Amino acid sequence: MTIDQPQPFAPRATAAELDDLRARLRATRWPDAPEDGGWSLGTDVGYLRELVEYWADGFDWPAQEEALNRLPRFRTSIDGLGIHYVHARAVAPAGPVLPLVLTHGWPDSFWRYTKVISLLTDPAAHGADPADAFDVVVPDLPGFGWSDRPAGPLNSIAAAGLWARLMSRLGYERFGAAGGDLGSHVTRYLALDHPDRVVAAHRTDAGLPLFTGDPAELTQEERDWMREVQSWGATEGGYAAIQRTKPQTLAAGLTDSPAGLAAWIVEKLQAWSDCDGDVEKAFSKDEILTNVTIYWLTGTIGATMRMYQANAAIPPAQLTRRVEVPSGFAIFRGDVVRPPRAWLERTTNLVRATEPDRGGHFAAFEQPELYAQELREFFRPFRTAV
């Protein structure tokens, strides 16, 4: 067996790692906070205290770890970079099986798709048509989760190239691709750079807009949206500014303090999900802490932030390329910077666009049934293309 061949993977935290985590949590030095500040200045310190107390004395990581390890998880090496992924095959399909690679974003990992894997591989077990079964591949981006950290900058274009090679290694020459957040970028470049292999591409966002033409060519709807994006960036974009410029400064604190790490991540779960301000309407404490504990145990927060720096260096000519592969979008109601249809038509070969009335930026986790149904319906016409 060569090092490149996929090998089963089931990581387990040691007792020493968990003891160290709990000791750090119990020794947290808490910041002050203005009275009734809530989430207005960032993470609500009162909620964070509650979360950290549960993390230290109630959260059962071994049980969550066992659930994750029941998934068919593997590692393989591509160009010397270890890639962790889930590879779940269709169960009792009733027609052509479409391979599908799902790419997560930040601040998460393959965790984003853990609820939808069985919905996609075994639709019949969930009341859906067995003809809609997929072979599902869910990798951790390099530097995220249990994939290796790249030695230097690695952007979404490079990640797309790695996924194309991964799918070849798994025996899939043609496949569908889907993603959100950073995963939307990777899916876009898979479609741009490998159009002979990607039968169709589905995304839950269109990223931040870049337009280099005559503004008069834009519709009023598009111009209004771009102003909205600028306003959002001014009030909500501080995280991105530091992650694309000085990520190592922040990484020093977040790698040392689990409470700080939780604060950085849970603020985005609260702000970007469809939860009406109450993060636990979208995620349970166990779900939040599973995501955060993956970051803590793998020590990857710095590497994940550096991908923002790598993506910031992508030339504008790459960012303005039009996707000609058939494209679909599900723009969930509770997501941020929701693009108008005119922009989707301008930038892609749009064949389907929907606006589900529930779910936010982490739609695959927040509303797995809705998300799975979106993928089934979008990819249905492309199954015979593999």
- Please tell me the predicted confidence (pLDDT) of residue 1: 35
Is residue 42, in this structure, part of any structural domain at all? yes
Q: Is the pLDDT of residue 305 over 50?
A: yes
Question: Using CA atoms, how far apart are residues 210 and 188, in angstroms rounded to an integer?
Answer: 14
Share of the chain above pLDDT 90, in %: 95
Taking residues 365-374, what's their average pLDDT?
98
Tens of pLDDT, residues 231-265: 999 999 999 999 999 999 999 999 999 999 999 99
The mean of the pLDDT values for the chain is: 96
Here the contacts of 253-259 (C-beta below 8 Å, separation 24 or greater) are: 254/301, 254/302, 255/299, 255/301, 255/302, 257/24, 257/28, 258/21, 258/24, 258/25, 258/52, 258/55, 258/292, 258/296, 259/24, 259/25, 259/28, 259/30, 259/48, 259/52
Question: Using CA atoms, how far apart are residues 15 and 160, in angstroms rounded to an integer?
Answer: 36
Is residue 361, in this structure, part of any structural domain at all? yes
Is residue 188, in this structure, part of any structural domain at all? yes
Is residue 303, in this structure, part of any structural domain at all? yes
Tens of pLDDT, residues 317-330: 999 999 999 999 99
Tens of pLDDT, residues 51-91: 999 999 999 999 999 999 999 999 999 989 999 999 999 99
Q: In b/e form, how buried is each residue of 75-90, taking b as 16+ CB within 10 angstroms?
A: bbbbeebbbbbbbbeb
Is residue 126, in this structure, part of any structural domain at all? yes
Would you say 230 and 291 are in contact if contact means Cβ atoms under 8 Å apart?
no
Is residue 2, in this structure, part of any structural domain at all? no
Is residue 336, in this structure, part of any structural domain at all? yes
Here the CATH number for the domain that contains residue 373 is 3.40.50.1820
Is the pTM higher than 0.95? The answer reads yes
- Residues identified as active-site: 181, 308, 361
Would you say 114 and 71 are in contact if contact means Cβ atoms under 8 Å apart?
yes
Structural domain of 140 = 7-385
Is residue 131, in this structure, part of any structural domain at all? yes
Secondary structure class of 281 (helix, strand, coil): helix
Question: Using CA atoms, how far apart are residues 73 and 86, in angstroms rounded to an integer?
Answer: 4
Q: Is the pLDDT of residue 93 over 50?
A: yes
Number of domains into which the chain is organized: 1
Q: Is the pLDDT of residue 49 over 80?
A: yes
Secondary structure class of 77 (helix, strand, coil): strand
- Please tell me the predicted confidence (pLDDT) of residue 3: 54
Residue listed under structure tokens 């109601």: 333
Nearest by Cα to 338 from 250, 218, 236, 209? 209
